Chains A and B, each alone.
Chain A
Amino acid sequence: MNGFVSRGFTGRRRTPEELADRLPPGQYAESGWPVLTAGPTPDISTDEWSFRIDGMVGQEREWSWEEFHELPSETIPADIHCVTKWSKLGTNFGGVSMDVLLDEAEPLDAYTMVYSYGGYTTNLAIEDLTDGKAWVVTEHEGELLPREHGGPARLLVPHLYFWKSAKWVQGLRVMDHEEPGFWESNGYHIRGDPWKEERYWTD
């Protein structure tokens, strides 16, 4: 396959040089924010929303919307990369670091399944959720996170493809083994590192 050139293709949409090194292989920069969801959009009010950590933990924890907002929050500048090839560079979220949440629950094992209102799941290793790599976010560019983008709250794990950043997030279960979540069971890579182009099972 090496050496194949598409006859007559020159490339119309090259990324400006100053951004090129922030774009993983096979991705292009998109200024909008496309919506990709497998089913209808759930409607979760902040009254009924809570975030829970359970499974193999020292201490099960659950935060209501009010309790969650008493936790230390931060603004997170991020580049996000969707497996469908678009990337959105330099966008800002507001939320709580997963380090803060996991510290309170004391995970005893290395794997998790993140689950959402509406039934979505995605698997993540504890390693990919700690040391300032993951957040539960409730704001985007200073506004409440829109429902179609996962509001009231979604996971944010910008160093992996964006399907890992579960919308309408409800909780996280710590497990002693790795199990594929929704897209990971439907042909997508178990980890999903965009820099290694881990899109599908066979990548």
Chain B
Amino acid sequence: MDGLISEPLTPVAQKAPGHWLIGTVTSIKQETPRVKTFRIELPMWMPHLPGQHYDVRLTAPDGYRAQRSYSIASSPIDEGEIELTIDRLEDGEVSPYFHNVLVEGDQVEVRGPFASYFVWRGEKPVLLVGGGSGVVPLMAILRHRRRTMPDLLMRLVYSVRNAEDVIYSDELGDDAVLTFTREPPEGWSGHRGRIDDGLIAEAGIDDGIAFVCGSNGFVEAASELLLEAGYDPRQIRTERFGPTG
């Protein structure tokens, strides 16, 4: 006996993002005909800021690789795991793999969370404006607000094509205003057509911070409306999809 008492070391969380990790897909949810949400459990998780993304890397047996970035949909309250909501692009390479090949229990290489511009750090009030699957990072913000600061003023304006294209439809409540640009659900009495000044006014968030995410055309049009509504350009954060197939 040398008299030393060995105590277990306090575990130290790995704080620097960047290492590739092998995550495990624990659940897959079909959100719409072309959108699924993948819950991925991570061996070394660190809390993200709502709005951040992860990179995903696929490796073929001969070493060929493909990488893409996907926004996190879940709140950082969910420790040890992340949710990625992925739109299937027909001519893509990574999203069809997620949709057609991956099953629960499969492993997938990811790294993150990354980027700290299109993120919500508790500013208020907040207007979220999403087009199509641009709603994904906005949902991370909305979910985090609901679970940590439910009284904070936040509204989502969400533009979708058809009734069947609404992602997270079971979670959209009083804090969300929808508009359908093509086919609304049967009996729909709400907004139709493209997002306009009336819809922005109805959201009722003046003098706040805005997060706008969607295709380039959508983001251009929505930011223009916000500028006309009196938003300072510095209070408008945008994220535009590139092709992320």
- For residue B188, CB closer than 8 A to chain A, the reply is no
Which B residues lie within 8 Å of A34 (CB)?
216, 240-243
Which B residues lie within 8 Å of A84 (CB)?
69, 242, 244
Instruction: Check if B115 sits within 8 Å of A186, measured CB to CB.
Output: yes
Which residues of B (70-114) have their CB < 8 Å from a CB of A? 91-93, 96-97, 101, 106-109, 114
Question: A38-B237, A118-B233 given as contacts; is B93 within 8 A of A12 (CB)?
Answer: yes
Taking a contact as CB atoms closer than 8 A, the residue among A11, A42, A187 that contacts B116 in the complex is A187
Number of interface residues of A (CB under 8 A): 43
Question: A37-B240, A186-B115, A186-B116 given as contacts; is B97 within 8 A of A8 (CB)?
Answer: yes
Instruction: Check if B109 sits within 8 Å of A4, measured CB to CB.
Output: yes
- For residue B179, CB closer than 8 A to chain A, the reply is no
Question: A7-B107, A28-B66 given as contacts; is B97 within 8 A of A201 (CB)?
Answer: no
Instruction: Check if B96 sits within 8 Å of A12, measured CB to CB.
Output: yes
Instruction: Check if B236 sits within 8 Å of A6, measured CB to CB.
Output: no
Quick one: closest A residue to B222, CB to CB? A40
Taking a contact as CB atoms closer than 8 A, the residue among A5, A186, A202 that contacts B60 in the complex is A5
Question: A11-B93, A28-B93, A202-B18 given as contacts; is B236 within 8 A of A5 (CB)?
Answer: no
Which residues of B (183-237) have their CB < 8 Å from a CB of A? 216, 220, 223-224, 226-227, 233-234, 236-237
Instruction: Check if A6 sits within 8 Å of B240, measured CB to CB.
Output: no
- For residue A203, CB closer than 8 A to chain B, the reply is yes
Which residues of B (29-72) have their CB < 8 Å from a CB of A? 55, 57-61, 64-69
- For residue B181, CB closer than 8 A to chain A, the reply is no
Quick one: closest B residue to A38, CB to CB? B117
Most buried by B among A9, A39, A86, A188: A9
- For residue B238, CB closer than 8 A to chain A, the reply is yes
- For residue B168, CB closer than 8 A to chain A, the reply is no
Taking a contact as CB atoms closer than 8 A, the residue among B58, B64, B69 that contacts A14 in the complex is B64
Interface SS majority for chain A: loop
Instruction: Check if B243 sits within 8 Å of A32, measured CB to CB.
Output: yes
Chain A 1-23 interface mask (CB, 8 Å, partner B; 1/0):
10011111111111000000000
Quick one: closest A residue to B105, CB to CB? A7
Instruction: Check if B101 sits within 8 Å of A9, measured CB to CB.
Output: yes
A31 to chain B, nearest CB (A): 10
Number of interface residues of B (CB under 8 A): 50
Quick one: closest A residue to B227, CB to CB? A40
Instruction: Check if A35 sits within 8 Å of B234, measured CB to CB.
Output: no
- For residue A30, CB closer than 8 A to chain B, the reply is yes
A21 to chain B, nearest CB (A): 14
Quick one: closest B residue to A3, CB to CB? B59
Which A residues lie within 8 Å of B96 (CB)?
12
Instruction: Check if B16 sits within 8 Å of A202, measured CB to CB.
Output: yes
- For residue B17, CB closer than 8 A to chain A, the reply is yes
In the bound complex, what is the Cα–Cα distance between A182 and B117 (angstroms)? 9
Q: Which residues of A contact B (CB under 8 A)?
A: 1, 4-14, 25-26, 28, 30, 32, 34-42, 82, 84-86, 118-119, 148, 182-183, 186-188, 199-203
Question: Beyond A10-B60, A199-B55: 20 further Cβ-contacts under 8 Å?
Answer: A4-B109, A6-B107, A7-B101, A9-B58, A11-B66, A34-B242, A34-B243, A37-B240, A39-B237, A40-B220, A40-B224, A40-B233, A42-B233, A86-B243, A119-B234, A186-B115, A200-B18, A201-B18, A202-B16, A202-B18
**A/B interface sample: 17 pairs, CB < 8 A:** A4-B107, A6-B59, A10-B61, A12-B93, A25-B65, A26-B65, A35-B240, A38-B237, A39-B234, A39-B237, A85-B69, A86-B242, A86-B243, A186-B117, A188-B115, A200-B114, A202-B16
